[in-house]
């Protein structure tokens, strides 16, 4: 069997276009423009790339983008003051503090200082609890993107057996909660899971969020299963020339594609969905703040 390649690039472009349509309607009908504030502390090169990309895509969707760049030595109290100002600013509907923060800061304290209604990353303890208890929440962007791809592939997920590999707070755990909410039978596998191959082999849906290049081989996959690869790993690629590198996922794409029904590639799978879902979350936060209906198909 050769798996269908799930095209996250194409799907995320559809999500962004859908967001832009809703934003235009919000402006025309209600005079409201959703606004996203992104805060970057320090000069981590990868974070700078993400923040630039987020700002660009926010503006392209017709929203307002507010960027706050603070020096690495910023005191935590100054960052908390900025967060408080953004919480109080009616033009700001979404706040994202780019992680990781410098070592002298307490990430949990900063994230939990964000107004949960504006917490478009979905990391605030209150949103984590709301998701876990089935209440309306802001949902972390990467798992939301995976869920959208899965719903698009399957239609209903009800009754499917799902295995999430990885139990981090930003991907694995919220992913498992979302799958449970869509009535999957969910197992979370991690570094201590005994006979992980056998566990994964039971799944109709496999979500790999491990951070280990090409760890999941084809012979772990049940024939016809749908495999979502969240991993982004840079590996040496001498075949491309001396000193060259390339990106791979947590899944061994070539062998998995021989067995699976569908699989996301890396790059071009889950990656582009993350920012698209950030825009979707900002729109959702704006609609909720204005007591307007949430955009259909863009929430969990």
Residues that bind ligand NDP in the complex, under the rule CB under 6 A: 142, 165-168, 170-172, 189-192, 196, 209-212, 230-233, 270-271, 274
* Separation CA 141–CA 16 (nearest Å): 13
Q: How far is the CB of 208 from ligand NDP (least distance, A)?
A: 8
For the chain, first and last CA: distance in Å? 31
Positive or negative, the Cα torsion across 55, 68, 231, 204?
A: negative
Any catalytic annotation for residue 98?
yes
Judged by beta carbon, residue 26 or residue 207, the one nearer ligand NDP is 207
- Among candidate residues 98, 173, 182, 250, the one labeled active-site is 98
Judged by beta carbon, residue 64 or residue 161, the one nearer ligand NDP is 161
Rounded to the nearest 10°, the torsion over CA 245, 249, 251, 252 is -20
Q: How far is the CB of 196 from ligand NDP (least distance, A)?
A: 6
Minimal CB distance to ligand NDP: which residue? 168
* Separation CA 298–CA 169 (nearest Å): 22
- 74 CA to centre of own chain: 27
Q: How far is the CB of 89 from ligand NDP (least distance, A)?
A: 27
Give the pair of three-digit tokens for residue 69: 């760049």
* Separation CA 113–CA 116 (nearest Å): 8
Q: How far is the CB of 232 from ligand NDP (least distance, A)?
A: 4
Residue 85 CB coordination number (10 Å):
12
Judged by beta carbon, residue 37 or residue 278, the one nearer ligand NDP is 278
Judged by beta carbon, residue 212 or residue 288, the one nearer ligand NDP is 212
- Among candidate residues 18, 119, 121, 229, the one labeled active-site is 121
* Separation CA 279–CA 90 (nearest Å): 17
Judged by beta carbon, residue 126 or residue 193, the one nearer ligand NDP is 193
Any catalytic annotation for residue 54?
yes
Residue with tokens 């995320």: 12
Residue 109 CB coordination number (10 Å):
12
Q: How far is the CB of 215 from ligand NDP (least distance, A)?
A: 6
Q: Which residues are catalytic?
A: 54, 98, 121
């Amino acid at each position: 069997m050769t798996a269908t390649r799930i095209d996250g690039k194409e799907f995320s472009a559809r999500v962004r276009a859908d967001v832009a349509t809703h934003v235009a309607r919000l402006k025309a009908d209600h005079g409201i423009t959703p606004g996203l504030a992104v805060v970057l502390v320090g000069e981590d090169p990868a974070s700078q790339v993400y923040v630039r990309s987020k700002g660009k895509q926010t503006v392209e969707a017709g929203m307002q983008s507010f960027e706050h760049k603070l020096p690495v030595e910023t005191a935590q109290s100054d960052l908390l003051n900025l967060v408080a100002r953004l919480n109080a600013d009616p033009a700001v509907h979404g706040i994202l503090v780019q992680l990781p923060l410098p070592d002298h800061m307490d990430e949990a304290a900063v994230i939990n200082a964000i107004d949960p209604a504006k917490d478009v990353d979905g990391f605030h303890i209150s949103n984590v609890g709301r998701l876990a208890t089935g209440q309306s929440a802001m949902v972390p962007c990467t798992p939301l993107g995976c869920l959208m791809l899965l719903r698009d592939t399957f239609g209903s997920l009800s009754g499917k057996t799902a295995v999430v590999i990885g139990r981090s707070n930003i991907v694995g755990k919220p992913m498992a909660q979302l799958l449970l909410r869509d009535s999957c039978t969910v197992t979370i596998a991690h570094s201590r899971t005994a006979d992980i191959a056998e566990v994964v082999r039971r799944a109709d849906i496999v979500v790999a969020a491990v951070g280990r290049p090409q760890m999941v081989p084809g012979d772990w996959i049940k024939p016809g299963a749908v495999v979502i690869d969240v991993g982004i790993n840079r590996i040496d690629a001498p075949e491309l020339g001396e000193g060259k590198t390339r990106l791979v996922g947590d899944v061994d794409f070539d062998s998995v594609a021989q067995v699976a029904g569908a699989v996301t590639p890396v790059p071009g799978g889950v990656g582009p969905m993350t920012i698209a879902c950030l825009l979707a979350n900002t729109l959702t936060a704006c609609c909720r703040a204005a007591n307007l209906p949430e955009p259909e198909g863009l929430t969990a």
